[in-house]
Structure 1
Amino acid sequence: MISNVHPISRYILIILCLVKTSCVLGQQAPDAQYIKDNYQKFEYQVPMRDGKKLFTSVYVPKDESRKYPFMMDRTCYSVAPYGTDKYRPSLGPSSHFTHDGYIFVYQDVRGRWMSEGIYEEMTPELEVHKTNKDVDEGTDTYDTIDWLLKNIPNNNGKVGVWGISYPGFYTTTALLSRHPALVAASPQAPIADLWRDDGWHNGAFFLVANFGFYPFFTNRQDDKPTQRPGGHFDPGTEDGYDFFMKMGPIKNTNDKYYKDTIRLWNEMLDHPDYDKHWEDRNVLPRLHDIKTAVLVTGGWYDAEDLYGAINTYKTLAKNNPKTPVYFAMGPWVHGGWARGDGDHLGDVDFGQATGPYYRENIEFQFFSHYLKGTELALPPVNVFETGINQWKTYQTWPPVQAREKQLYFLPGGKLSFSAPSVAKDSYDEYISDPANPVPFVQDRNQTMDMQREYMTADQRFLSSRKDVLSYQSDVLDQDVTIAGNIWANLKVSTTGTDADFVVKVLDVYPDTAANTKWTGKDIKMGGYQQMVRSEPIRGKYRNSFSKPEPFVPGKVTPVNFELQDVLHTFKKGHRIMVQVQSTWFPLIDRNPQTFVNIMKANEADFKKATQRIYTSKLHPSFLKVRVM
């Protein structure tokens, strides 16, 4: 079982997936014998329209007294184990599917593992396919479904597709096959726009999420099928803060370690701006004319693909108003709904087992209805409200009841829904030093990976930092529920020509808050500063992600950016806090604070800068939120 208690990096998670031969269902190993007793495994090389063949494992129920729908997972993370005598210990999204009876299909996507072809990260999806050479993930899915319907006996003619993370992207692209037999699909934590999901957040490069991932992910760079796994970069330490500081500028990843041997890593370094390379890989503009019923699933605390889940749902719902599109969001980390109880994250208690609830009452019911014709009473939007720890249902997301309000930064570190009234200009300032960046978690010995718990972690460890500003509301005399996306609207100035700004929204517990069974050692929940939502922006992208522009030193400049959606209640007796800083290391790479190509920057380019956040009537800084 992959627990929510212990941190696990992106690439270690995938290694465990392959060892267990099931990315998200390791806890269901007790099904292993049931699967061997009730399913027969077959392996095929399924031909695509351009002649390439994709390796496909098919598990067929031995009971032939009825017909079964297909449940398919297309993956770049291997369909192992290979061999018809070697079985996965779990099948389908959850044990409910295993015991209910489906034909389960697992496929290595083009260019990965045992499938032919050259792999392309986030394959650009074509609007028009004029010849058999015009292939993408949509056409590969179409050709696979067609082959399955014709060659796997005892099927009922209906297909469902699901997948988490990268397989979530392949599930989204399955919709673009527009095959009539594809009646249900569930993109879960899907990558939608690689530049905005796993790569950059508003232009700030997510260093630890990517650095160790690509050596493992790169098990082949040619068109030769293989079962050989990728490599593993051993930094020799878990202190990522120290490791990356000693490494120096990003270009040193190649100078010191990778030596230009990893094509996909170099693609990231070669395209720091949102250029055509990334635009072609953004699947969201393609999501129109969809007839398949869709369940989009994500986690409020998904440190990797939160953007993908939220924006895949919003795009599908907007562009396909006549298609059943469902949305489920819970208090989960990346893939957390598919494993474990989902009852806490780090020190924060969610009060109930949200994972089993989702698997039985949302996911299983959705697919059963569309693939087997069972009854369905599922509202379009099923979301978990953190803070008060309750499931809520709505017809749309964000809910129409939410009203836009502005939460202002005031002089003296105050935060209020009332705008600043003093005409005199005011600001707070700090010195941002790339040689002494703000750490993103307290324990630097746990900074070689994403540390998914950072998304709810107590921020009191930063109280002594002079380069972190805090704005705090009065004690709330009633509950305040924020539902929907948050926009930071900052007025800033800098003495440099570039700057990052990180905005964090915190729920400050009262001093009387009691510890729970999940509270960590030496932690007290009284006064706990729980992070609710946080996002950075690389300031040179404040006006355009594709055309960076420098700051004019000393000039007051608006910097507006999205912090993504929440559904959180700040309870009566709590406070709302907002923190602003300019480094967040090594979660994001260091900004030299000079206007250069950061992927090619030298150590001499890194300079201290004084950052100002304005809090006046003339230059107000505020958060734009949706309040229930």
Structure 2
Amino acid sequence: MKLLTTLLFSLLCLTAVAQPGSADAAYVKEHYTKHEYQIPMRDGKKLFTSVYVPKDQSKKHPFMMDRTCYSVAPYGAEAYRPSLGPNPKFMQDGYIFVYQDVRGRWMSEGIYEEMTPELEEHKTNKDVDEGTDTYDTIDWLLKNVANNNGKVGVWGISYPGFYTTTALLSRHPALVAASPQAPIADLWRDDAWHNGTFFLAANFGFYPGFTNRQDDKPTQRRGARFNPNPGSEDGYDFFLKMGSMRNTNVKYFKDTIRLWNEMMDHPDYDQHWKDRNVLTHLHDIKTATLVTGGWYDAEDLYGAINTYKVLAAKNPNTPVYFAMGPWVHGGWARGLGDHLGDVDFGGATAPYYRDSIEFAFFSHYLKGTPLNLPKVNTFETGENKWRNYNIWPPAPAKEKNLYFLPGGKLSFTAPSATKESFNEFVSDPNKPVPYYAKPTMDMERDYMTADQRFLKDRTDVVTYQTDVLTSDVTLAGNIWANLKVSITGTDADWIVKVIDVYPDGAPNNKFTGKEVQMAGYQQMVRSESMRGKYRTGFDKPSPFAPAKVSPVNFELQDVLHTFKKGHRIMVQVQSSWFPLIDRNTQQFQDIMKAKDTDFKKATHRVYTSKNNPSFLKVRVM
């Protein structure tokens, strides 16, 4: 299945997508009265806001608010959303639901800035950001919407997850509960640039449709669906023929998309991106917070994990909860969450989250109902069980090194031979390694669990694997790649994949594809990419010295996965991953400005000796 970029436009409306037990607009209209307001901010700009008030006025109700850049449609006092709140239980329980177009988007005034930089100080009414906009909105709602109980909760997924995080920075005393879900935390590190590699397939089709407006004039007009490859879904062929990244403008966008150009003009982690890292501001937070994410969230895995870690570390006296399930981006908000691609998770996981975690959390803090919720609720893949901890990563997980050894071996025992050893391969950016068996124009939503056997004949993919495991091995926490490499060029990308190799006798399950066998399946568990020129600092790229052994260290992010007895642990290393990420010219240069003729072959080595060990630093339960 592919993750349609149009899905991203409707993330604010995840609850508007049909869900088990959800009602239609007739139910909403029967039980709620809709109002539309232009709420004034401290600098005079007005933000368009839809408010749905329960017709049952026998008791006071708390607010549930979703601030979004994806539109609060439908517009008009008589046009009702088909569902309200994070999931149907909220709508049936009775809340005052608030949906707001953020500054500069859709029907709200102002100029839109992607991930508006937050200010530590607000000295005048001109010093505005998403935190002040949230504060002013809450203040207005409390004073102007009758029969409220004085308590506000905020939630949102993806970009609205970012706005939920910035709501915390309002530090409004009435904001008592918030749930950033798959929140963007650092745009350079989340959706766009993974350690300096640009996520091409995910972003290329997204920005034309996202860009429905680039001025200060409110509009209900949607961005146009961009289809540069009519009649074909072969994304590998399309992006290869497109050529260098500069051709995105030369051939298609024609410098008309401001937000796209901001990314192309800032490939380094410079001040532009540092200003948009919301994690640096998450101190002195008093609001109870539930951070939610999915282990297979291809867009904002980093945001969920690191928003939780920073909040928990910097706000020890504040209730901070963490929930991670086996889900894709937003997968907990709809559907069953019982599988991804060919991989079976042993039953439905999303309804448990919606009922026993999300609803219970907000109901407690907004309505005073009892709460028995562990601080950390995580789903252990492989074992397919929910696990509860007091902190993440769990305290019992101990650091160990998983070493690459000569002969394609992988072991917790370090190499002992002093004689230099390495694996060598030729990387040709004009014949890049595909990230998926048949890439389409969109990012494939199940690439993060996909079978890697389609690469078995590639000579530019280096593989290491353990012997058959004689007992279960559970990894819990982040993984760090520590590579020792050399190249004949001056730059190179490095992709590391951690893979669960099933035994030859593994049976198929009800989700196994028609042409797939689970026997010998190579399930990707975690993967990440790194542009080598950023190995000494994301804001200070530096070239490789050809043929010199250099360390390349980067984080693969967290997992909670058990490699079962009888399975193997595999690690693959490669230097292209197309078209998930853009191609590296393998020359030290600004790749966003490179020409089609700049792409060069290079020979790469991954070292496996005692003096130059390559390994993964993992946390083992």
Normalization by structure 2: what TM-score? 0.99
Secondary structure class of the residue paired with 1:576? strand
Equivalent of residue 321 in structure 1, options 316, 324, 349: 316
In the superposition, relative to structure 1, how do residues 16 and 142 fare at CA in structure 2: closer, same or farther (>3 Å)? closer
Secondary structure class of the residue paired with 2:462? strand
2:398 corresponds in structure 1 to: 403
Pair 1:241-2:236 in alignment? yes
| Partners of 1:504 and 1:531 within 8 A in 2 | yes
2:274 corresponds in structure 1 to: 279
- Distance in 1, Cα, partners of 2:361 & 2:18: 19
| Partners of 1:25 and 1:93 within 8 A in 2 | no
| Partners of 1:21 and 1:89 within 8 A in 2 | no
| Partners of 1:26 and 1:90 within 8 A in 2 | no
* Letter of the 1:52 counterpart: K
Equivalent of residue 544 in structure 1, options 524, 527, 537: 537
In the superposition, relative to structure 1, how do residues 383 and 350 fare at CA in structure 2: closer, same or farther (>3 Å)? same
1:353 corresponds in structure 2 to: 348
| Partners of 2:345 and 2:381 within 8 A in 1 | yes
Q: CA deviation at 1:27?
A: 5.4
Pair 1:260-2:255 in alignment? yes
2:29 corresponds in structure 1 to: 36
| 1:81-92 correspondence runs (5 A) | 81-92=74-85
Q: 1:140-171 CA distances to partner (integer Å, 9 max, x unpaired)?
A: 00000000000000000000000000000000
Q: CA deviation at 1:594?
A: 0.3
Q: CA deviation at 1:603?
A: 1.5
Equivalent of residue 12 in structure 1, options 6, 25, 29: 6
Equivalent of residue 225 in structure 2, options 224, 229, 232: 232
Q: 1:409-429 CA distances to partner (integer Å, 9 max, x unpaired)?
A: 000000000000111010001
Q: 1:64-115 CA distances to partner (integer Å, 9 max, x unpaired)?
A: 1000000000000000000110110010000110100000000000000000
2:106 corresponds in structure 1 to: 113
- Distance in 2, Cα, partners of 1:92 & 1:62: 16
- Distance in 2, Cα, partners of 1:21 & 1:208: 22
2:206 corresponds in structure 1 to: 213
In the superposition, relative to structure 1, how do residues 16 and 147 fare at CA in structure 2: closer, same or farther (>3 Å)? closer
Q: 1:514-544 CA distances to partner (integer Å, 9 max, x unpaired)?
A: 0000000110000000000000000000110
Q: 1:193-213 CA distances to partner (integer Å, 9 max, x unpaired)?
A: 000000110110000111111
Equivalent of residue 617 in structure 1, options 596, 610, 615: 610
1:419 corresponds in structure 2 to: 414
- Distance in 1, Cα, partners of 2:212 & 2:596: 32
| Partners of 1:25 and 1:94 within 8 A in 2 | no
1:343 corresponds in structure 2 to: 338
1:578 corresponds in structure 2 to: 571
- Distance in 2, Cα, partners of 1:21 & 1:391: 24
| Partners of 2:10 and 2:70 within 8 A in 1 | no
Q: CA deviation at 1:55?
A: 0.3
- Distance in 1, Cα, partners of 2:67 & 2:21: 20
Secondary structure class of the residue paired with 1:30? coil
In the superposition, relative to structure 1, how do residues 21 and 581 fare at CA in structure 2: closer, same or farther (>3 Å)? closer
1:391 corresponds in structure 2 to: 386
1:489 corresponds in structure 2 to: 482
Q: CA deviation at 1:129?
A: 0.2
Secondary structure class of the residue paired with 2:180? strand
* Letter of the 1:13 counterpart: L
1:436 corresponds in structure 2 to: 431
Secondary structure class of the residue paired with 1:35? helix
1:3 corresponds in structure 2 to: none
Q: 1:488-512 CA distances to partner (integer Å, 9 max, x unpaired)?
A: 0000000010000100000000001
| Partners of 2:15 and 2:87 within 8 A in 1 | no
Identity among equivalent positions (%) equals: 76
Normalization by structure 1: what TM-score? 0.97
Secondary structure class of the residue paired with 2:120? coil
- Distance in 1, Cα, partners of 2:279 & 2:18: 28
Pair 1:597-2:569 in alignment? no
- Distance in 2, Cα, partners of 1:486 & 1:432: 25
| Partners of 2:179 and 2:292 within 8 A in 1 | yes
- Distance in 1, Cα, partners of 2:500 & 2:34: 50
Secondary structure class of the residue paired with 1:245? helix
| 1:64-103 correspondence runs (5 A) | 64-103=57-96
- Distance in 2, Cα, partners of 1:432 & 1:181: 56
- Distance in 2, Cα, partners of 1:255 & 1:369: 54
- Distance in 1, Cα, partners of 2:9 & 2:118: 28
- Distance in 2, Cα, partners of 1:280 & 1:163: 22
In the superposition, relative to structure 1, how do residues 531 and 289 fare at CA in structure 2: closer, same or farther (>3 Å)? same
* Letter of the 1:218 counterpart: T
Q: CA deviation at 1:29?
A: 4.8
- Distance in 1, Cα, partners of 2:84 & 2:596: 50
2:359 corresponds in structure 1 to: 364
Pair 1:179-2:172 in alignment? yes
Q: CA deviation at 1:450?
A: 1.0
Secondary structure class of the residue paired with 1:105? strand
- Distance in 1, Cα, partners of 2:550 & 2:301: 28
- Distance in 2, Cα, partners of 1:33 & 1:225: 28
* Letter of the 2:36 counterpart: E
Structure 1 runs (4+) deviating above 6 angstroms are none
Q: 1:605-626 CA distances to partner (integer Å, 9 max, x unpaired)?
A: 1100001000001100000000
In the superposition, relative to structure 1, how do residues 194 and 473 fare at CA in structure 2: closer, same or farther (>3 Å)? same
Which 5+ residue runs of structure 2 have no aligned equivalent? none
Q: 1:325-372 CA distances to partner (integer Å, 9 max, x unpaired)?
A: 000000000000000000000000000110000000000000000000
In the superposition, relative to structure 1, how do residues 283 and 23 fare at CA in structure 2: closer, same or farther (>3 Å)? farther
2:290 corresponds in structure 1 to: 295
| Partners of 1:274 and 1:545 within 8 A in 2 | yes
- Distance in 2, Cα, partners of 1:470 & 1:25: 43
Which of 232-241 and 490-499 deviates more?
A: 232-241
| Partners of 1:486 and 1:563 within 8 A in 2 | yes
- Distance in 1, Cα, partners of 2:528 & 2:339: 22
| Partners of 2:9 and 2:70 within 8 A in 1 | no
| Partners of 1:247 and 1:253 within 8 A in 2 | yes
Pair 1:53-2:43 in alignment? no
| Partners of 1:269 and 1:599 within 8 A in 2 | yes
Q: 1:442-466 CA distances to partner (integer Å, 9 max, x unpaired)?
A: 013xx21110100000000000000
* Letter of the 1:284 counterpart: L
- Distance in 2, Cα, partners of 1:25 & 1:267: 36
In the superposition, relative to structure 1, how do residues 29 and 95 fare at CA in structure 2: closer, same or farther (>3 Å)? closer
- Distance in 2, Cα, partners of 1:35 & 1:123: 33
- Distance in 1, Cα, partners of 2:309 & 2:9: 32
